[in-house]
Amino acid sequence: MDQKSKQEELIEAEAGSSVRLRNPDSLGFLGLLVKIASVFLALFALWYNSFGVISELHQNAIFFSIIGFIGFILYPLSKKKAKQTLKIDVVLAFLVLISGLYIVFFENTIHARNEVLILRDIIIGSIAIILLIELSRRAAGLVIPLLAILFSSYALFLGKYMPPGMFSFRGIFYSTYVYRMYFTNDGIFGYIATIASTYVYLFILFAAFFLKSGAGDFIIDMAKALLGKTVGGPAKVAVLASGLMGSITGSSVANVVGTGSITIPLMKRIGFAPEFAGGVETAASVGGQMMPPIMGAGAFIMAQWTQIPYTTIIGKAFIPAVMYYLGVLLNVHIRAVKSNLKPLDDTEIPSVKEVFKKGWHFLIPLVVLVYLLVSGYTPTYAAIISIVAVVVSSWIRKNSRMGPKEIIDAMILGTRNMVGTGILLLVAGIIVGIITLTGLGISLSIIVTSITSNSIFLLYLFTALAALFLGMGLPVTASYIVLAILIAPAFKMLGVGILAANMVVFWLAETANVTPPIALAAFAASGIAGSKPVPTAIEGFKLAKGLLLIPILFLYTNLLAGLNGNVIVPAVSGLFGLFGFTVFLEGYWGKHLNIFERLLFLIFGLLAYYPSIETDAVGVLGEILLFGYYYLKGKKAKA
């Protein structure tokens, strides 16, 4: 199977589902309905995000209806009995479609009754909420629906039974619950749904158009041309290609499936163990969600919550993302040299000049996207214009030209890729709505700061443990939402800036993709590598250690200062610290190191990492001397 078809096969990347979805092509007329609905939603999103005029409530209700309709058909009630349960799923699909459109047609009637719900309203709203929770179970497992049920129960009756104090809540009537969760902008159709139906969906559409134009092949070929001749070339190709691809798709699993189908076999062929090959692709793909200009869905949520412009966030996220990838590259290089692996054969490495000559036009939409974002245009406007730029630039060369069929296919692919993410974000609206309604978030933040004794570092450790725990049952976006609601305010209470607090949570949430036993990106990589899933996840976790180490610098240094001089010292010292950790773990630099030599690298790495100009200087200088000494010593021994 080629790269693009593998990427098209991945239609639940962000939702974190391990369920094999139904293929619309095998569903006959029903599959045709799914495709029509997908194209309709794409056109509808392009319309209301450009020159269309529609209320946010109606916009999100229609988005919910279509996503729910497609979701029930694609996600079977039982993966073992998908054919037998198809009729049930079709009935549920039309039920969720009707329940969403009900708001569009009857909102004015409800307002005319002064927001008093009648039995019909309560029944329709209840059906919609129940179906959405069930759909989230199919798409993301049990954790998300159980959280939604738990928080709903707290608002309805559990709060009354809590001991008097911060967690006590008198409860609300069921009709009030349905009204707040379904007929207003406070719950399912709140600002998270708006983020999903605008920013997230448009950038997923952009990624689908970009990949459909053939740009994925260009990115991988360029990575081969640039790094294929170096030691351990295929692994470095995987790191570079996944970084570039991830900056477009914003999906770790999509990167694994898309680039890993090419790079993992190459890594295995030159001698990397299957677990390490899968781990490299996992770590590299996870970094894609932190790499501008698009990043993951969490970045859009962060922009909405913090009210910090999205362009500011991606500008400040660039240096840390580069640091992460440099750390992974060094780890790969050390393992390749340690294992005495060779570069790719010259016959497999394309010329940079030839690759650029054939695919330079793929860079046009990326340049357009970055220019529009930097120039102050809204992300939605930038995404729409960039989609147009993809189509127009594809006409430059005959073999990449997108016609009506390719454009329709891109819309279908983009919508299918959005289904899992859309379901997840919509059901997250219930959790966020309950927390807002009950004030539970503030109470939890106060308790968390108390548990950690008002220590920023202890709070960081608590957050890291919470992220690792949540990552065992939640996909990345859900993990970020939960942590951002419950823990980010605790950081702010201790004086941490709002961006730093949310960026720490955002990075730690990414560990969900490499945390056993539910490390979806690692499991996808193990399937391609033919390796055991848990050892692959462990290798990926070791390579992705920057996810845990770099956020510490957000709290104590100017690493989030953006692209200016203030970021130089923390970036350089942080890199040397990261390199020291890497050498300590691998036990090799120029030669195999004994425990004393490894500890030297670790000690100077810790000094370089500690947020003080004096320790930074000592640590960096010590690391430079160690790197130089052991490199020359190893070279002399080989000679």
Residue 503 has pLDDT above 70, yes or no: yes
Q: What is the mean pLDDT of residues 476-485?
A: 83
- pLDDT of 340 > 90? The answer is no
Residues 540-548, mean pLDDT to the nearest whole number = 90
Residue range 266-280: mean pLDDT, rounded: 84
Across 235-241, average pLDDT: 79
Residue 237 has pLDDT above 50, yes or no: yes
Q: Are 333 and 223 in contact (CB under 8 A)?
A: no
Structure confidence at residue 8 (pLDDT)? 43
User: In this predicted structure, what is the pLDDT of residue 619?
Assistant: 93
Q: Is residue 269 predicted with pLDDT exceeding 50?
A: yes
pLDDT over 50 at 15, yes or no: no
pLDDT at 79 over 50: yes
Neighbouring CB atoms inside 10 A of 568's CB total 12
- Range with top average pLDDT, 68-77, 336-345, 418-427: 68-77
> Is the confidence at residue 169, as pLDDT, over 90?
no
pLDDT of residue 442 exceeding 50, the answer is yes
pLDDT digit string, tens, across residues 511-538:
877 877 667 788 888 888 888 888 888 8
DSSP 588: B
Backbone angles phi, psi at 592, to 5 degrees: -70, 130
pLDDT for 4 equals 44
pLDDT surpasses 50 at 18: no
Q: What sign has the CA pseudo-torsion 205, 208, 212, 216?
A: positive
Q: Within 13 A of 53's CA, how many CA atoms are on the CB side?
A: 0
Q: What is the DSSP string of 249-273?
A: H--HHHHHHHHHHHHHHHHHHTT--
**Residues 131-152 pLDDT 10s:** 999 999 988 778 889 989 999 9
If you average pLDDT over each of 69-73, 282-286, 521-525, which comes out highest? 69-73
Q: pLDDT per residue over 341-381, tens digit each? A: 777 777 778 888 888 888 888 889 989 988 888 887 888 89
Task: Give the pLDDT of residue 615.
Answer: 93
Task: Give the number of other Cβ atoms within 10 Å of residue 7's Cβ.
Answer: 26
Q: Which two tokens stand for residue 181?
A: 């969760």
Residue 76, both tokens = 């079977």
Report the chain's terminal Cα–Cα distance, integer Å: 45
Quote the CA–CA distance of 268 and 276 in Å, as a whole number: 9
117's tokens = 């719900």
Give the dihedral sign, CA 520/521/525/531: negative
Residue 291: which of 269, 333, 320, 326 has the closest Cα? 320
The chain-wide mean pLDDT, for the chain, equals 86
pLDDT recorded at residue 215: 84
Question: CA neighbours within 13 Å on the CB side: how many for 323?
Answer: 29
The predicted model gives 6-23 an average pLDDT of: 49
Q: ∠ at Cα 204 (202, 210), nearest 5°?
A: 105
Q: Where are the beta strands (DSSP E) in 114-190?
A: none
pLDDT at 3 over 60: no
**Residue 547, pLDDT score:** 92
Cα–Cα dist 630/583, whole Å = 11
Q: Where are the domains of the chain?
A: 564-639
How much is the pTM? 0.84
Q: What is the mean pLDDT of residues 532-549?
A: 88
Q: How many helices (H) and strands (E) does the chain have?
A: 30, 0
Q: According to the model, what pLDDT value does residue 465 have?
A: 87
| Mean pLDDT computed over 580-607 | 92
Residue 1 pLDDT grade (very low, low, confident, very high; cuts 50, 70, 90): very low
CA 8 to chain centre: 17
Q: What is the pLDDT of residue 517?
A: 66
pLDDT bin (cut points 50, 70, 90) of residue 5 is very low
Could you tell me the two tokens for 478?
Answer: 């859900």
pLDDT band with cut points at 50, 70 and 90 for residue 639: low
Amino acid found at 226: L
